[in-house]
Structure 1
């Protein structure tokens, strides 16, 4: 206060709309400063408030995923701003993998105009996430109070990597069951193809009983392709002839391919979305030179 004249005055102040509950640990304003969070724990924070004179516009957290699966995130947010800002009253959540590649970005509850004092909720699924460290980034041009919690569900085991090319094809044998995953992503790398190889003698038959489960966040499909030793495709089979396998749905199929000369057949499994799958080979004649790699 100042004046060029003599004045007598009094004043008082009060703090209103105080926020209760825990706040996020600062600093956590970038990937390096990301605070650790554990599955099942609720992390609370505030965004858009000044901390030591600096506006706190970004909060980062990191989580370690011990296995492949689906990440489910629960968010609650309250607009604590002083005035409405058309199309700028939102809270954004971004999720990155261990290589800082973006997996998802969205405004909570798909709402760009959260009213002052309004609470919004969201449940967000990220499918096909492989064992990795992931990062959560929360930001907003407005003042928000929030809480976030995640869990890793529908966990799966990925067997036999690397098996992403003809050169890396896993050798398999008869009357055995094999299982694995497709289209799970870690550190910017997507496991979209699995290869297997089967050496044959004369007059044998490749028989497969196959099934797959759509672990993705949308409908999809899974296919097996069969190649001969020259890497020429001799058969392609879309599981169940179904391009639209529902989320969580199991699809089954089989193939039978006669082999009339010495050969090595290669199997390539691929899918449009995250899938788990398994297949069982039929019995093979004793002279087929099998060995487990």
Structure 2
């Protein structure tokens, strides 16, 4: 049977960009529901998004986080679990795709995630922390390093992480752009009730290990330290991917189909040779 997919679209700004991104997701994946998760600021700006977000963006439903914008940015997985406990568990799906507003996928989900089995957790460049290096922001600062140690202590106490003779777990980090999760993982992750220690890019791979799920790379970026990939897919700066770069890749039969960050509407994207899905699976 085809995999039943669902998109949770996470956003906090730039409604025009978000609208074009949701439109493209729907065009490429007919029949796949797209639910919104707003994690932006409060005040008048946040209220405007909350009031108009579902209608303006063309979403099936809209969930608004109760937390602050900075907390949501750091803890995307915990916001997703809030949504899942309150709303998502009632929906019918096999695999959930957690899509950031500035992630551009130009082929159907079934093709973009073709390398990720339905029962696996798909993460972007899951990489041992020893390879990432100790200058990564989530383990480099004093507070960040303390939180990481506390998170590891939680894993040891609750799950015996690293306590078994002959078992030496390798902690990983990942990029939080475009993960996908089987429904069973979300059930188990919600039940585990992870603490707000570290950030989602540390917790995703750690809890996949703790809960016994296979982790598979999405393939959106070739390696953590790969400067040649930065013009197409990066999360290490504020470099917006250029329209000309995207168009050149889409013109290649085997060019790249995932780009990040893309923070412009790209209104003419319908003229690019993107490939549609034949159905909702």
Could you say which TM-score interval applies, normalised by the shorter chain? under 0.3
Give the number of the structure whose alpha-carbon radius of gyration is greater.
1
| Higher strand content, 1 or 2 | 1
| Higher helix content, 1 or 2 | 2
Bigger relative CO (Cα 8 Å, ≥ 6 apart):
2
Structure 2 length normalisation: TM-score? Answer: 0.21
Structure 1 length normalisation: TM-score? Answer: 0.21
